[in-house]
Structure formats: structure tokens, C-alpha cells
Structure 1
């Protein structure tokens, strides 16, 4: 049972070398503290907290810990010391523990410095000390940042190694048993069309543990699929961990070093996966729909999605695809179609596409690749220019030095020159891309007759962008040529 009384805590400390050097005794400290209480007319009962033979290098002391525990228990009203350095010689530690006292409405008194947080002068002194401490914290943070910045620029890994790697002398090396799993995850996502949940479930069912020997989750799979380390790029200072809620920093503050680490995934595959990750995904309800074209089929009359429904008599019920605008708003005059017939037309359309992969498809594929290539180049140039513009603004405001601005200007010029060189012709293997399309089409056609709908739909997403029904036996299939 917690004591209902409130006490004044008298804290005294002395280290062995202080006793020898300065003749500071615990008894003297205690007497001075008690005398101060009498002089101030404080009649509250006192409690002694004594750390004999402990230095002020840190706050981990037996009776100081006991004092903190009693403060949190609510039985202390005031903490007293003879001098501030009895509590701590480090300003940051001193402010930390005084903040704790303040949190529990406990005043702090140091009699030598006439310091009392319960008085206006004491609170003013505390604010000044706090400002000095904050300055010291910022300086420490700056020094740490500078050291880590230089280490990152040299390609050194500064935290725990990610899955697929091991850490040797601050350098990442590929750990083959885990690297095989990384390749498998990327294949399942990019080629097999599986989502984060399905991949996590597969790995957990196979008894394959994560880095911390925990089960895989949607979050851990997505983190693996979006981590640039797997393409050999080091990105540091991306997240602000100084606050309770981790937030992503401005891209200007990131340290990015390409080709600084051993890659597990080739850059083309990694970039393709990022496009898929950032692409607007099919609604989760549509993904789990037990109907082959749920979430993919569009109305050729108004462009709305086609939803599944049921029609027919009580003894002859059958599935139908019906325009959602017609069903929900009555704004479309499109008719409904028997689902089995539509899905048969769709399969026939895929077979027709497979058998007619000719120059027309090659031309469309080349155009798609060129368009995407030039879009990527333009985006890189615009990003570099915007980044430099922000640096100019920072220099104008006196936040960075001229050397920093010149360094950013060199980076911008380098990016623009490299982008212009790459602007002439995108590098790709047309025959390989054509073969990829053939393989995916074959997989989907085979899956329709042999695999569960959920698995078939996952494969569909890897090659089919959209399906539009134009009329009886008229299906328009738009392929996704960039994944």
C-alpha cells in the first residue's frame, strides 16, 4: 500500500575520489539540507536518498533510481540537493531528470545556487538551462550527422543489415540463403501477380522466418519490395526518428549513393516493381471476387465498371455482368451479359491475341517503351531542377554555405547531362519483352481452365490492363505492356 504522506527528498551523493580530493562528506550534505528546511519553515517529513561512492557520469545510481520511483509513486513533494552537481555534472542529464520532476509536480531545490523550480527566478533559470541544453543537443546531433554522412558517402552501412545481407566490417555482403528468398518475393510479385498478403502467407506456411525470426507481414513484404538496397543503392537519412512518430524527411535531405552496395535485384526489375507498387491497385473487394473479370471488365457504352449479379428463374439462376451505372443510377442503357459467355469470349480473345503477336504489337510495345523512357528522363530533370531551386532559396536565407550550393549545381548538371545522353535511345531487348508477353499470355490461358479464380486473377493483373465489352462476342482487351 502506497504511503499517503508526502515527503521532502534529501538527495546526497559523493564519489570516492571526491571524498579524497575535496573532503566532501555525506553527513555534511545531509545536515545542510535539513538546516535549510528548518530555516525555510518546511515542516514536512524528510527522506534521505544517499548514493555513496557513485560518480555523476550517468543517472544509473541505486538510490537515485529509488528516488525516481518514489516521485512516480506520488509520495515526494520536493527534491533537494546541496549543489546541482550532486544530481548530475552533465547538463542534459540534469535537465532530463528535472523535467521528470516537473511532470509529477515535484519542485527541485539546490541550496548552493539558490535554485528552486517552485519560484519565478528558479523557473527562469530552468528555461535558460533548457535553452543551453537544447543547443548542446543540436550540436551533438550535427556532429553525429556529419560523421554518418561521410560514412554513408563511402558506402558504409550504418544500421542493422536488411534481409538478404550480412554485415562485415560495416560493409554489406550478400547472404545467399536469404537472397534466394528476396528473389523469390520479387518474382512472386512481378511475374506471378501475387500481392503482399499472399506472399507473406506463402512464406509463413513454408516456415521461412524473417530477419528477426518473426512471421512475415504485409508491411514487411512491402518494405522489401520498395527498399532500394536490393538494387545496390544506399539511401540514408530518409526517415526522421527523433520524434515518437517516424516521418519521412524532405528528399533534399536524403543521402543517395547509387551502386554503393552489392545488388540482389537488377535495376530493371526493381524499377518495374516500383511502378507496380505505385500504380493504383484494383479494389480489394474486386481482387477477392470469385468471378474472373471482377474489377477488370468495363462497360463499352459509358466506361463504368461491370458488376456481377444474378438473373433467371428460381430454378435456372445464372451469373451476369451488368453496368454499375445502369444498376445503381439508371444512367446507362447497356444490357446485361451472361458471365459464362463473357468469360468464354475473353479467353478466345486472349488466344487470338497470342496467335496474332505481329508487327502491330511490336510497334505498340516500342511506342510504350519510348513514351515511358522519355517520361522518366523528363521527371529526373525536373526533380533535379526543383531540388537546386530549393537550395538557392536556402542559400538566400543564409541556411547553407556557397560550397553546398555549388555542389548541388554540379549534381544538377550531371543528372541533366546523363539524362540527355540517355534521351537518344532507351535500352531494351524487344525480343525478350515480346517473349515475356507470350509467356504471360500462355500462363493466363492455362490458368483459366486449371487454377482457382484467385490465382488466375493474380496472373491476369500481370498482363491485362483493362477489358471492355462492346457487344455480343465483342471484347476489347488492353494489355499491360510495361510490366
Structure 2
């Protein structure tokens, strides 16, 4: 086989990383299972290529999936490599062993025995001593499928052990999340301990909220002081990898009221460890399953508290009281948006303002008084309701015309069907007359063609009539649905909020108090 491009595929899953970390030997300064690291896989594969003279003139391309499980094949580098295979750019794939390619032994076997042979791609697993070129035209040794099965069982075993280990750590009060929450850091044993750099910010948030300061005002203060938001703090410390976040004003530090609300509602700050809300679904499914509340882990005094329980309880009571007060729904709730950024506008006293305007410098859209906006909206609604009343009368007349036309169509359709069937029977009789010698072949063929053309014309007319009837009935169904909607809308006049919610999709407010209303009407209802 003339190999032109060789793909070196390497993979390291989170499970393998966990094995490496858990087997670390501090005294010897060694880690077990180091051969699974990406760097060692690369070294092994490149060494293999160097020893094989047949690959001397081949070009190589490397594909790496770092941190992806082998139980599934939805991996970015793997899919990119297979795309190259499909396009004929790759003629050979080399991996350290079968498990690096995948741990699902059924799908792995399908690749080895069907897909790669069909695509004429050579597959080599170095440590397993497998080379598909040696099995061309025959079935691989029985050792191959059994080894694949062993890898699959091994993957399940690792998954079970990790779950068991995490459950034990949770019950001991250890934090098993990937990143500690804002205000804490993880010590060498895995327990949460206060982060001296950020715990004061958390305490300030609780203190100022209880003093009466609103979340938007507090968010604006934190942003103005240049205090990194929780996510930005983690990026700055290298705990979280990623690009620095910037707001639409070009700021690096960006607090939101939702961020503050999450901090104020998190009981972990009182020393309680809450975990196990979700569990992983079947191996390789990638799904998370919600755990019943009685089965979740709750450990009191698992770590030092940043917020005392009385303060936390007082905050929850205040938030609950405020939420109940906010439940008084105003007419335009959930409908008004900033026309510039698309975010919801909030009602602040008797004004609507962009939700981001209050705690950033976003002031493209000025505030609009609630009474003024309601006046604009109700004027438009009144116009729509009057026109909908007129539309309802039009719909009723349209339905009457459709019903009248249907009544005329049904006899026509029935007559056309009878005529077409009669013509088809006449064509059959022509054949019998020809077979009995009552007419010659030329006359038979000519009359058959003539009568056949007449049947086709009748069937075309019949199809047209049936299509017209079906269209009329469909139209009447739409008229009934539209009429029902109009009746429902007109009947909601007594409940003004229900009327607005049923008629209006959104209200956009632009610079200069320009208001645009988007209605929920279907196309045929647009006024």
C-alpha cells in the first residue's frame, strides 16, 4: 500500500487524568500510568514511524483529544480526522492501543472490520500489535474483539470507581466540584477554606444588601471600583481558562444582579456542604440526571463559614418578602425590551429603563414613563381590536362562500368520477371487440388512444376539483381557528393583562422613545 498521509491519533480522558492524580507518589516523585499522557503517546507513535521504513516518505498529521472520554466518539479531533478519511486525505491511522481510539468495543469493532476496510484505510494499534494490513481479506484474531471488550469493561470499572470515590469524599465533607465557589479555595486535602482575597467581598455583599442597597446599585458599585467578577477572578488566577470577558462598554470587570443573587442564595457560605444534586447518566451518554432531594448530600459544618446562619436566614427572608411584593404583575411585564441591545427593560418605580442601564454606562435608550408607554400601547391595541372585529365579519363571509362552493363541487366530483369510470370500462370493451374480430387492430389502437386521452382529461379535471375541495375545507378550518382566536382576544377585554399577553409578542423601545409593537397574529390576520 502506497501510504501518503498518516494520522497519529492521541487521546487522554478525564478518567485517565484522575487515575494519574490519585496514584501520585509524593515520596518518589512519580506518577503511575504516565504512559497514557499525550506527550508519551506522541513520543511512542513518532518512534514507531521512525522504525518503519515504509513510512519514511509519508507525511504525518497529529490529532489530539485531551480530556475526552473514550466511551463515545463525539470528539472534536476524532471527527476532524474522520472527515479527512472521508475526503480521501488520510490513508493510515496509528494509535498507541485500541483504548486510545475508543472504549466502546462494539463501535470500535465496526470501524476495524467494516468502515476502515471499506474506506481503504490502514489501522495500526502499536502496543496491541495490530496492523489491519496483515488481516486484509480475513477475520482478525479472536484476541482483538476480546481485547476491545476488556477495554469497554475497564472503562465501566473506572467510571464506577470514580463515582464511588466521589461519594466517599462528599460524605467526609470534601469539595469534589471542579472549581471552588467564589470566596473559597480548596486546601491540599480537598476541603473548602476561605479565600482571604475574596471572602471580604462576599461578606460586603450580604452586609450591604441587608442595609437596603439594591442588587443593581451594588453591581454598579463593584464594577465602578474595578473589583473582578467571580468569573474574571478565576481567569486572573488561572483557575479558569479562557479569554478575558469584556462588556459592551469595553470593561473587563463585570458584575450582574443575577451574580449577586446567586451568592446571596448559596447556603454553602454558612459552612454547609451541598452536593450530589445531579449524577451522570449511563456510561457514554453524556447526560446528567437530577437526584431526588432526600438522596443529596448535606453536611453541616463541613468547612469554615464566611456568613453566619442568622445573617443568611435574614437575607433569605428579605429576598422572599421582596419577591412576594414583586409578584404584583403590572400590565406590560415581560413585554418591554430595549430596542438597542434586545434586553428586557425593567420597571423602576414608574419608569421603564433598560435592565443594564442602571449599573453600567449603557444609556443609549432613555427611560420612558410607564403611563406614557401604556398610553401608546393601548392606543395601538384599540386600533387592532376594532380591525379584528371587522376581520371577524370578513371571516364569516369567507366561510359562507367556501361552504357554498363546496356544496356545488361535491355533485361535480361525483359526476366526474362516474364518467371517468365509465370511459375506463368502454376501453375494456374495445379490447374485447378487437379480440372477437369485430374491429381491426388499427381501428382498436386509434379508438383506444382517443378514449384514453378522454380519460386522462377527466382524471385531470377530477384531480383539480378534489384539490379545490380540499383547499376549501382547509381554508374553512383555518377560518374557524382564526375566528376562535379573535373571539378569545375580544373576550379578554375584561382582563387587560391577559389581553396584552395574548396579542403582543414584544414591545421594543428605541432612542427618542420610538416604540415598535410586534403582534402575535398569523400572516392572514395581519392588519
Instruction: Return the TM-score normalized by structure 2.
Output: 0.37
**Larger radius of gyration, structure 1 or 2?**
2
| TM-score (ref. length: structure 1) | 0.39
